[in-house]
């Protein structure tokens, strides 16, 4: 057996680390753009006076939470090519992840907005604030604080989710691990490394999420 | 857009999808059952007085929760082969799904057990119940009542997540779709159709779980 492992060299480790950067980039892209979608969905979901908007927001969340991320990636990836859009692979893979983030983060936004006591809304209204002012000066300061721990928690889920970009052949950490394992036969070693890199990215996030939550509860 | 859709491709092959859906249900059903058993033992281990048990269970949960399922799948798949164990892909999928589901459920069940006041256990013991009886009637059943809704959504997540096992050619719903795709090349139509099937299955089970929850826990426990 040992001679099989000779092919595995520091170059492969470098390749994996590079791929880890791709994974992180994909995550950053999906999270930042997904946040915009989430804001819209979250505000739709909490629109008291517009049942239609609430319904649209609800349907969006249900669809993205009720189907496998794998299918979302397939459908978006092949759907975009049917539409005749020739997007760079990074963008094509990002789009389903952005929509996915929008649904999960949208729920977090909704929870944040709903965490603001009703009386504060009314106080703002009676001061003559408009919706935008109310959101900016009354709701946001409280909601954002409530949203931070679950958002960091969702990042862990997103990092794991990017591994499914594997299926459309996009070279991120998991695909890179697969390629290296096929060329060096050091399968267990490679996947231990890949797993360790994911763990190294995610574990600090998980810990941070837990700590932030404890801190939030202490202040509440 | 010059693409012509051929929706008749998935529609004419409904039996294959039905077969695939049943395989997915079998696979994720077994995994959820076994995963729950793993979860109850690991939750107890995480709350035990034994330092090593506690650490082992925590390590298991943290490792699984912080790595992607597909990496776990490859790890188990190639790992078993390295140790000379040749299982078919379907069994490997069940093993990995069980490990995965078990870790997430451990956290749910642990939180549930911790939500039960210590005084309850003491009351049970002082009534002369054995520690097994206390565990069963005072801790486990009331815990199940509390954790049923999050547990049910974890089961559904496991069912949806099982689509990933097609990566090792385990035969289930997504795999059935991929096979059809390799014959007909109607990629978009097939995956769109699969998405709808998964969505319907998720909704159906979400409904079933909440009905069972209402029925089982209301009748057995009244208004606790």
From A121's Cα to the closest Cα of chain B, the distance in A is 31
Q: Into how many domains does chain B fold?
A: 1
Q: Which chain A residues touch B100 with a CB distance below 8 Å? A: none
Residue pair B53/B45 in contact by the 8 Å Cβ criterion = yes
Residue (of A145, A147, A160) closest to A203 by Cα position: A160
pLDDT at B219: 58
Q: Which chain B residues touch A202 with a CB distance below 8 Å? A: 65-67
Evaluate whether ipTM surpasses 0.90: no
DSSP state letter for B4: P
Average pLDDT over residues A189-200: 95
Residues of chain A whose beta carbon is less than 8 angstroms from a beta carbon of chain B are 63, 66-72, 74-75, 78-79, 82-84, 156, 159-161, 163-164, 166-167, 174, 177-178, 181, 187-188, 191-192, 194-195, 198-199, 202-203, 206
**Tokens 């094509």 — which residue?**
A92
Contact A68 B78 (CB under 8 A): no
Name which residue leads in pLDDT, A37 or B4: A37
Which structure tokens are listed for A76?
């978006």
Cα gap A52→A60, rounded to integer Å: 12
pLDDT at B108: 95
Q: Is B170 left (phi over 0), alpha (psi -120 to 50) or beta?
A: beta
From B164's Cα to the closest Cα of chain A, the distance in A is 7
Average pLDDT over residues A162-186: 90
Cα gap A75→A69, rounded to integer Å: 10
Where residue B54 sits, what CATH number does that domain have?
Answer: 1.10.3720.10
| Residue A6 pLDDT > 60 | no
pLDDT at B115: 87
> Which of A68, A81, A103, A175 is most worth mutating to test chain B (most B CB atoms within 10 A of its CB)?
A68
Cα gap B90→B23, rounded to integer Å: 9
pLDDT in tens, A50-76: 999 999 999 999 999 999 999 999 999
Q: Which chain B residues touch A74 with a CB distance below 8 Å? A: 187, 191, 194-195
Low pLDDT (below 70) residues in chain B: 1, 218-224
Residue pair B202/B162 in contact by the 8 Å Cβ criterion = no
Contact B191 A83 (CB under 8 A): no
Q: Is B164 near chain A, with CB under 8 Å? A: yes
**pTM value?**
0.90
From B137's Cα to the closest Cα of chain A, the distance in A is 31
Contact A167 B167 (CB under 8 A): yes
Cα gap A74→B191, rounded to integer Å: 7
Residue pair A98/A73 in contact by the 8 Å Cβ criterion = no
Does B109 reside within a domain?
yes
Q: Is the CATH number of domain A2-219 1.10.3720.10?
A: yes
From B130's Cα to the closest Cα of chain A, the distance in A is 35
From A72's Cα to the closest Cα of chain B, the distance in A is 7
Contact A74 B62 (CB under 8 A): no
Which string of DSSP letters, residue by residue, matches B121-185?
HHHHHHTT--HHHIIIIIIIHHHHHHHHHHHHHHHHHHHHHGGGGGGGT--SHHHHHHHHHHHH-
**Tokens 């109607």 — which residue?**
B186
**Containing domain of residue B43, as a range?**
15-221
Contact A63 B199 (CB under 8 A): yes
pLDDT at B224: 46
**Tokens 């057996």 — which residue?**
A1
pLDDT at B223: 45
Structural domain boundaries in chain A: 2-219
Cα gap A53→B112, rounded to integer Å: 35
Q: Is B161 near chain A, with CB under 8 Å? A: yes
Residue (of B191, B137, B165) closest to B30 by Cα position: B165
Cα gap B124→A25, rounded to integer Å: 54
Cα torsion B159, B164, B168, B173: sign: positive
Contact B70 A75 (CB under 8 A): no
| Residue A87 pLDDT > 90 | no
SS3 A26: helix
Contact B72 A187 (CB under 8 A): no
pLDDT at B97: 97
Residue pair A93/B213 in contact by the 8 Å Cβ criterion = no
């Amino acid at each position: 057996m040992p001679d099989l492992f000779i092919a595995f060299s520091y170059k492969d480790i470098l390749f994996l680390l590079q791929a880890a950067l791709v994974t992180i980039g994909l995550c950053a892209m999906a999270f930042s753009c997904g946040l915009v979608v989430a804001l819209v969905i979250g505000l739709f979901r909490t629109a008291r006076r517009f049942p239609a908007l609430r319904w649209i927001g609800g349907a969006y969340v249900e669809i993205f939470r009720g189907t496998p991320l794998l299918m979302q990636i397939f459908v978006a990836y092949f759907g975009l090519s049917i539409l005749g859009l020739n997007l760079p692979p990074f963008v094509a893979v990002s789009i389903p992840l952005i929509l996915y983030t929008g649904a999960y983060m949208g729920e977090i936004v909704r929870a944040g907005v709903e965490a603001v006591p009703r009386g504060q809304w009314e106080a703002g209204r009676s001061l003559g604030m408009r919706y935008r002012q109310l959101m900016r000066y009354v709701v946001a300061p409280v909601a954002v604080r409530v949203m931070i721990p679950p958002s960091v928690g969702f990042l862990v889920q997103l990092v794991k989710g990017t591994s499914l970009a594997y299926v459309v052949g996009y070279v991120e950490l998991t695909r890179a691990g697969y390629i290296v394992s096929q060329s060096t036969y050091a399968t267990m070693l490679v996947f231990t490394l890949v797993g360790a890199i994911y763990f190294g990215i995610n574990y600090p996030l998980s810990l941070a999420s837990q700590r932030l939550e404890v801190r939030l509860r202490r202040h509440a | 857009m010059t693409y012509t859709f051929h929706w008749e491709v998935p529609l004419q092959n409904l039996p294959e999808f039905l077969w695939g859906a049943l395989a997915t249900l079998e696979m994720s059903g077994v995994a959820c059952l076994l995963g729950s058993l793993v979860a109850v033992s690991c939750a107890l281990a995480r709350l035990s007085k034994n330092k090593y048990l506690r650490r082992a269970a925590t390590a298991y949960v943290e490792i699984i929760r912080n790595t992607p399922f597909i990496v776990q799948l490859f790890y188990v798949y190639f790992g078993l082969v390295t140790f000379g164990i040749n299982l078919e892909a379907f069994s490997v999928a069940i093993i990995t799904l069980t490990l995965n589901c078990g870790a997430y459920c451990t956290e749910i069940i642990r939180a549930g057990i911790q939500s039960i006041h210590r005084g309850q256990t003491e009351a049970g013991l002082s009534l002369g119940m054995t520690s097994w009886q206390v565990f069963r009637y005072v801790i486990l059943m009331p815990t199940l009542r509390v954790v049923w809704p999050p547990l049910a959504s974890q089961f559904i997540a496991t069912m949806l997540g099982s689509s990933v096992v097609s990566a090792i050619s385990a035969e289930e719903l997504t795999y059935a779709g991929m096979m059809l795709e390799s014959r007909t090349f109607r990629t978009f139509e097939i995956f769109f159709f699969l998405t709808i099937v998964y969505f319907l299955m998720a909704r159906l089970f979400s409904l079933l779980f909440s009905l069972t929850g209402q029925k089982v826990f209301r009748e057995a426990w009244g208004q606790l």
